[in-house]
Amino acid sequence: MSGGDTLMMEDDPHDAPAMLAPDPGAAAPGDAGAALARGLLGLLEVFDRSGATVTRLRVTHWPVAVGRALSADLVLDDGHVAAEHLRIEQSPSGTIQVCVLDTFNGVRRGGKLYPRGECFDWNGEDDLSLGRSRLRLRLPGMPIAPEQALPKSPWRVVGLTVALMLAVFGLSVLQAWFKVTEPAKFAQAALSLVGVLLGGLVVWAGLWSLATKLFTGHPQFWRHVRIACAFSLLQPLATGGGYLLAFAFSWESLARFNFLLSIPVLAAGVIMHLLVIAPQRRRSLVAMVAGVALLGVVAMMGANWLQNKRASNQLYLSALFPPGWRLAPTVPLDQFMREAASIRQRLDERLKDHDEDAPGDDEED
């Protein structure tokens, strides 16, 4: 393989790697005849696991060998790829065929794994996975993704960012105002709260931007700020909505396990941050974050059970709203008194058990 056959590509400034635009090495859909006239039979592109383009090969002859050996037409720097991993050739009928060569890792296409010795047709619509790399084929005449328009109104993005930040600060100050006991000190407390929120937002978005810079080459700081602000607003809305539904319909269990409503919101926020870094790995990222969130829920409920002998962190409905917002049917007075008596009995039994478990006082001499 000559040194000019494989060209390194620059990082795409967008979030996800876009399809290559027509250039001297790739023909547009209407230029298939011109590409063939120049001897260009296709274009092979290699992507890493994060979706970034690693290299590409202009195909001028069939067959094409792919592997780590220098004798291969497309040389991959991947320790999980065999010396000659696969061979791509054109059958007499004109279809593109892939044959898996001497490799025990095989080649994966979609959800199917092709082991050593198998051959299959490849129309280029699906990527091939070999080792930790993905292989994409473009043939003359295949459609490419449309050109992406540059943002014409960057002030809209700036305005959205500012609006989200102001909403987060305003909501936090409002929550602090409801909890304040000394109105004279509220201004000082509000300034401290805004400072802490601003510092936390900068650190949080900065860490995600650093990771994005390392993997994609573009920090995307303000995008991470918008994601953090959006889900910071969704989290109190989710928990507040849960408390409101529990109060309106007398759903005690919803109030006791209300903390579970914030976990999916936080997990979704983390997924959105991760998708900025690796947009091509949506399924694996969602599965990973969902698994971590599930383990977190089990750990929290287990800790509550070991400490308080219950899975929830609340005993009763603690959030009260105006009585006119109640939609649950009223309870007769006799039923209410019986239920209140049963609650008192359970509390007395719990206090008795606690007194029995507590060590007695040492007797005085």
Domain co-membership, 50 together with 19: yes
Q: Is residue 66 exposed (0-12), middle (13-18) or buried (19+ Cβ within 10 Å)?
A: buried
Cα–Cα distance measured from residue 46 to residue 135, given in angstroms and rounded to the nearest whole number:
5
Residue 188: Cβ within 10 Å count:
9
Residue 321 to residue 119: CA distance in whole angstroms: 67
Using the 3D structure, point to which of 114, 138, 162 is the last residue of a domain: 138
Q: pLDDT (tens digit, 9 = 90+) per residue, 138-187?
A: 988 888 878 877 766 677 888 889 999 999 999 888 888 877 777 777 88
Domain match, 266 and 235 both: yes
Of the listed ranges 16-25, 59-68, 114-123, 165-174, the least confidently predicted one is: 16-25
**Residue 179 is part of which domain span?**
154-323
Number of H helices and number of E strands within the chain? 8, 12
Whether residue 196 has pLDDT greater than 80: yes
Q: Is 273 in the same domain as 188?
A: yes
Residue 348's pLDDT is: 74
pTM score:
0.63
User: Residue 27: what residue type?
Assistant: A
> Using only C-alpha atoms, what is the Rg of the chain?
31
Burial environment of residue 328 by CB neighbours within 10 A (0 to 12, 13 to 18, 19 or more)? exposed
Same domain, 179 and 94: no
- Of 63-67, 118-122, 177-181, 203-207, the range with the lowest mean pLDDT is 177-181
Q: What are phi and psi of 116, to 5 degrees?
A: -60, 135
Domain count, the chain: 2
305 and 169 together in one domain: yes
